[in-house]
Amino acid sequence: MKTYMQKKEDVVRKWYIVDADGQPLGRLASKIATILRGKNKTIYTPHVDCGDYVIVINASKVNLTGNKLDNKIYYNHSGHTGGLRERTARVMRDKYSTEMIERAVKGMLPKGRLGRQMNKKLFVYEDENHPHMAQQPETLNLK
């Protein structure tokens, strides 16, 4: 029996909506990363981007367990001397909730050209409004 290898020209992509309201950040991010990679499909091929598009709504209502809201710190560096910026998870959730989910998912995708290509299929919005109704996305229940 011959192993089936997916070609990038033959990939059929779907659009999914995921509601982040009350979901734990890490569990949500790992499930989204699985869909972006295409590992939920039977035609998964490691060297081909065969994943689907994911729209995340209500990003500002994502949940973190334990004391992570105050203890978890996100770091950015401008590249200049003394350019280190620190933010707690509470500040990130209140002001930059879309970036918080994008960072969590990006860390779970492969590094390199293929991972960057997969990451482009993720769209995160703070509330329920999104401009992708023309793609007729399916609602995905990840609870």
Give per-residue pLDDT as tens, 26-38. Answer: 999 999 999 999 9
Average pLDDT of span 92-120: 96
> 140: number of CA atoms within 13 Å, CB side?
20
Per-residue pLDDT tens for 56-82? 999 999 999 999 999 999 999 999 999
143 within 8 A of 23, measured Cβ to Cβ: yes
Distance CA 136, CA 17 (A): 10
Least confident segment among 1-5, 12-16, 92-96? 1-5
Average pLDDT of span 15-30: 96
CB atoms within 10 A of CB 98: 15
Q: Name the CATH superfamily for 12-140.
A: Ribosomal protein L13 (3.90.1180.10)
Q: Has residue 1 got a pLDDT over 80? A: no
- CA-nearest of 135, 66, 132, 69 to 97 is 69
